[in-house]
Amino acid sequence: MTGRVLVLGGTGEARRLAGELLAAGVDVLSSLAGRVADPVLPAGEVRIGGFGGPEGLADWLTRHRPRAVVDATHPFAARITGSAARAAAATGTPLLRLQRPGWTPRPGDSWRFVDSLAGAAEAVAGCRSVFVTTGRQGAGAFAALPGRVLVRAVDPPDDPLPAGTTLLLARGPFSVADEVALMRAHAVDVVVTKDSGGQMTEAKLTAARELGLPVVLVRRPPLPPGMPAVATVEDAVTWVLRR
């Protein structure tokens, strides 16, 4: 077994973790799925591309024998998280999930939680102007919406989009003032997002609160049973250093 730690990344937390582990003298390899055309890269060595499911990741772990794996992927990257859990169990590799907490409603918020993108599309089907901020993947769930739809993503979605779509390609963080101006300019009457958590894209929720707009949030997928998890980079660093 080597001293290297494999960080399954693509999030701000993953980049911070890689930097802090390197500063502590830990050899880190960050792995990105490659689904974003121009990703923000962490410090240290980086590999880009999938492993080929749980079997492919298990094979990689068997060949490279890292001391541990930290899954710091997006809270909605359920497939990758599931593969990591299965591969780590199959190879006896220590595994930790680093996942930031979800958002908490504040006074003045009007939030409705749903279980899926399809449920979100159904919840806003009667609205005149919908702001969809659920990312590139799964945008096709909103293809049948009849009204105006503002879709924001880092890269263009592959799925068909609603006929009344305005596509905005942008990468956060966004300011509250900019979000308010955007929602006013497009006469948005409802915001749709995933319960991703974190500060990078939280401004849209503050803007919706200030404008008195409802928000539809897609709940996070559950973690695999028994998967240990922490909510902060500091706790993840402590866990690695104790291995």
CA-CA distance, 8 to 6, in Å (whole number)?
A: 6
Overall fold of domain 111-218: Rossmann fold (3.40.50)
What pTM does this model have?
A: 0.89
CA-CA distance, 167 to 153, in Å (whole number)?
A: 8
Rounded-to-10 torsion of CA 156, 151, 158, 46: 50
Angle between helix 233-241 and helix 12-23 axes, rounded to 10 deg: 40
Domain residue ranges in the chain: 5-101+223-241, 111-218
Q: CA angle at residue 89 from 72 to 8, to 5 degrees?
A: 20
CATH code: domain 5-101+223-241 is 3.40.50.720
Per-residue pLDDT of the chain (243 residues; tens, 9 = 90+): 568 999 999 899 999 999 999 999 999 999 998 776 678 889 999 999 999 999 999 999 999 999 999 999 999 999 999 999 999 999 999 999 999 999 999 999 999 999 999 999 999 999 999 999 999 888 999 999 999 999 999 999 999 999 999 999 998 889 999 999 999 999 999 999 999 999 889 999 999 999 999 999 999 999 999 999 999 999 999 999 998
CA-CA distance, 82 to 87, in Å (whole number)?
A: 9
Domains 5-101+223-241 and 111-218 share a fold: yes
